[in-house]
Amino acid sequence: MSADIATAVPRANPDAASAARTPTGAAGTGTTTTSGLLPRINGPGDLRRLPPGRLPELAGEIRRFLVDKVSATGGHLGPNLGAVELSIALHRVFASPRDAIVFDTGHQAYVHKILTGRQGGFDRLRQAGGLSGYPSRAESVHDIVENSHASTALSYADGLARAFQLRGHTDRHVVAVIGDGALTGGLALEAVNNLGAAPGRPAIIVLNDNGRSYAPTVGGLASHLAALRRSGRGSGASSPRPDGPNVFESLGLSYLGPVDGHDIDALEGALRQARALRRPVVVHAVTVKGKGYGPAENDRADHMHGIGVLDPATGRPRDAAGAAPPSWTSLFADEMTVIGAAHPGVVAITAAMPGPTGLAEFATRFPDRFFDVGIAEQHAVACAAGLALNGMHPIVAMYATFCNRAFDQALMDVALHRLPVTFVLDRAGITGPDGPSHHGMWDLVLLGMIPGLRIAAPRDATRLRELLHEAVGHDGGPTVVRYPKANAGPDIAAPRRLGGPDGVDVLSHTGDQALLVAVGPLAGPCVAAATQLRQHGVGVTVVDPRWVTPVSPVLVELAAAHHLVVTAEDGLRTGGVGTAIAAACADAGLTTPVRALGLPREFVGHGERARLLAAAGLDHRSITASVLEAVRLGVSGRPAPSPARGAWPVGGWS
């Protein structure tokens, strides 16, 4: 942890320090509300000076603010509506940022942002240059960490508490706010195991229990929490109850609760009691996801967890200008039911996200072959290995960014055993408004190094269906099918395929100066670039490898027949598909230069997907410019490739 949490900010005015870090476009603390209590809250100090009797009024204003702002920009609505009173109580009892408050998962931190001087930023929530949808250290000293992958806060809290103890900061407190869904993650349980073993090290775990993550929380721990909610017994003592301790007490933590998570007085009392214990303690707060907004409270399909622009009066999406093309997720959802009917050995696994990953309909149609394991990606993949060992073909559907967490299981539990497990990675590449933690830009590099694993990147709806069936039909090892958070758009036809049924598609051929290798959804920009390049007198061949890893021998032969290779991928520019193609060409003894276009090796901020791709040089104009630059550098002046180096691999052009 960097030093500024150890020194914090001067105790005299932490609110002013918060405003100093507000991002461009989010400055100020004003709001469209011109009367009431909320405009007076410019930081936690203002909140603590408010009379307790006015707090329910403030909570109502915050909920109206959230519905108004988030319905206009999109974002996480349900989780924040359920955390209003809890956030108020936290900032009244604890002195942030001197006391470290860590939110897990960070999408429940909107109210925290409102209370720490960032109301004015909500007009540009999750837009480029505006307020992040997650905690952001660049925005405020009150944002201790930028966590938005679940189950991490308790480990942060353990480390922060250890550091406070080592540095002699005995008057400072560490608070971790975690949902019951995130508590199903293995990392959270590892942290609880460590926190419970150190009774002299204070750390407060606020369990925000609404019985849901995206979907209802599953597993034995969820059943245990439900039993605690039903019992309604919470003495606040650390000694076991007459009928035995609960799981937290058994692991060495004190337990307070359950407490009504929408009763500010009760919450403040429990939090003050927890603070006074000076030991690891769980405060079990029971809340309602979407509290105070009918469409969100009654939402059982998780549509209000993360929303787009909607009509706040009805909770329904605002009318679009026309029917949008189907999303990649919906296409996968439809095809999964077809695959399930055709392949009785196919099973589906999700990590607490059946709806967002497109598995909800499969779960309805084939309930005995669908498994939700909670927010536990590592377990999901190792469990898939066990299923595959016993003759099933698991399809593990998750966001690309969350697959990072299961790299070791994919490598050592699946690939080492050459097991037929298919990973379907949604939100691959640039996702847009969720920012650096959610861009799925690492998968091609991480998974591309796994021996025996094949990665497919469909360019359109037809290829998605085609590649899914090819993946399910492959029993020689693991496969991956990846696609972005976007609408699929029209199909892009291929005049011919080279190398057989699972070979390389040729999308356009205007000459042999450059071979343009398009990865998945970048096929459209590459085909458009080819048209522009022809107008500049540069002839190119555009190909879609379909299976991008390992590199097809056909691509190497094509590279030998061109003066230049340019690859375009919505993953990291270094270490991805372009790097693999360059290595394959070098191994074959080719001198054809390879220029890789892709995302920079840095954390990309939040913003509109198309704009972020353009900023990375991955729109058709930028691709055109990159090829022209290479040509101007003299690549096109090289002698034409000789037949001995390999011309077209299958019979030339007709």
Residue 557 and residue 553: Cα distance in Å, rounded?
6
Q: Is 190 a catalytic residue?
A: no
pLDDT surpasses 80 at 638: no
| Domain presence at residue 33 | no
| Domain presence at residue 51 | no
Q: Are strands 496-498 and 504-509 parallel, antiparallel or unpaired?
A: antiparallel
Q: What is the pLDDT at residue 646?
A: 38
- Residue in the structure block whose two tokens are 């603010």: 65
Residue 309 and residue 289: Cα distance in Å, rounded?
19
Q: What is the pLDDT at residue 305?
A: 77
User: Do 428 and 346 fall within a single domain?
Assistant: yes
pLDDT, average across residues 82-103: 97
Structural domain containing residue 474: 328-482
User: Do 358 and 221 fall within a single domain?
Assistant: no
Tell me if the bond preceding 550 is cis, omega within 30° of 0. yes
Helical H runs in 21-122?
A: 44-48, 55-73, 78-81, 84-93, 110-115
pLDDT, average across residues 373-393: 97
Cα first-last separation, the chain: 62
User: Do 507 and 462 fall within a single domain?
Assistant: no
Q: What is the pLDDT at residue 473?
A: 97
pLDDT surpasses 60 at 462: yes
pLDDT surpasses 80 at 634: no
The token pair at 635 is 């690549």
Question: Which of the listed residues 284, 299, 314 is the one where a domain comes to its end?
Answer: 299
Q: What is the pLDDT at residue 166?
A: 94
- Would you list the DSSP string of 392-454? -EEEEEEEHHHHGGGHHIIIIIIITTT---EEEEESBB---TT-TTT-B-SHHHHHHTSTT-E
Given pLDDT bands bounded at 50, 70 and 90, which one contains residue 643?
A: very low
For residue 620, give every residue at least 6 positions away whose Cβ sits within 8 Å of its Cβ, in sequence order, or none: 524, 525, 526, 528, 529, 532
| Domain presence at residue 38 | no
CATH number of the domain encompassing residue 457? 3.40.50.970
User: Do 125 and 195 fall within a single domain?
Assistant: yes
pLDDT, average across residues 264-290: 96
User: Do 477 and 600 fall within a single domain?
Assistant: no
pLDDT, average across residues 181-195: 93
Q: Is 69 a catalytic residue?
A: no
User: Do 558 and 623 fall within a single domain?
Assistant: yes
pLDDT, average across residues 613-624: 97
564 and 513 Cβ atoms separated by less than 8 Å: yes
User: Do 218 and 164 fall within a single domain?
Assistant: yes
Report the chain's mean pLDDT, rounded to a whole number.
88
pLDDT surpasses 80 at 645: no
Asked which of 220-224, 413-417, 541-545 is least confident by mean pLDDT, the reply is: 220-224
> If residue 100 lies in a helix (H) or strand (E), which one and from where to where?
strand 100-104
Residue 245 and residue 598: Cα distance in Å, rounded?
54
CA 103 to chain centre: 16
646 three-state secondary structure: coil
Active-site annotation holder among 92, 98, 289, 546: 289
171 three-state secondary structure: coil
pLDDT (tens digit per residue) in 99-145: 999 999 878 899 999 999 999 999 999 998 899 998 999 999 999 99
pLDDT, average across residues 600-618: 95
Q: What is the pLDDT at residue 3?
A: 37
Residue 349 and residue 366: Cα distance in Å, rounded?
12
Q: What is the pLDDT at residue 517?
A: 98
CATH number of the domain encompassing residue 591? 3.40.50.920
Q: What is the pLDDT at residue 445?
A: 97
| Domain presence at residue 356 | yes
pLDDT (tens digit per residue) in 235-254: 444 444 546 689 999 999 99
User: Do 470 and 522 fall within a single domain?
Assistant: no
Per the structure, the count of domains in the chain is 3
Q: What is the pLDDT at residue 322?
A: 58
Q: Is 405 a catalytic residue?
A: yes
| Domain presence at residue 48 | no
| Domain presence at residue 543 | yes
User: Do 91 and 216 fall within a single domain?
Assistant: yes
pLDDT (tens digit per residue) in 196-211: 998 888 999 999 998 8
Q: What is the pLDDT at residue 314?
A: 82
pLDDT (tens digit per residue) in 288-302: 988 988 888 787 666
User: Do 397 and 514 fall within a single domain?
Assistant: no
Q: What is the pLDDT at residue 34?
A: 57
pLDDT, average across residues 79-104: 96
Neighbours of 179 (CB within 10 A): 31
Active-site annotation holder among 61, 377, 557, 569: 377
| Domain presence at residue 22 | no
pLDDT (tens digit per residue) in 468-481: 999 999 999 999 99
Q: What is the pLDDT at residue 301?
A: 63
- In percent, the amount of the chain with pLDDT more than 70 equals 88
| Domain presence at residue 198 | yes
User: Do 527 and 628 fall within a single domain?
Assistant: yes
Q: What is the pLDDT at residue 381?
A: 98
Q: What is the pLDDT at residue 17?
A: 45
User: Do 399 and 433 fall within a single domain?
Assistant: yes
Q: What is the pLDDT at residue 214?
A: 66
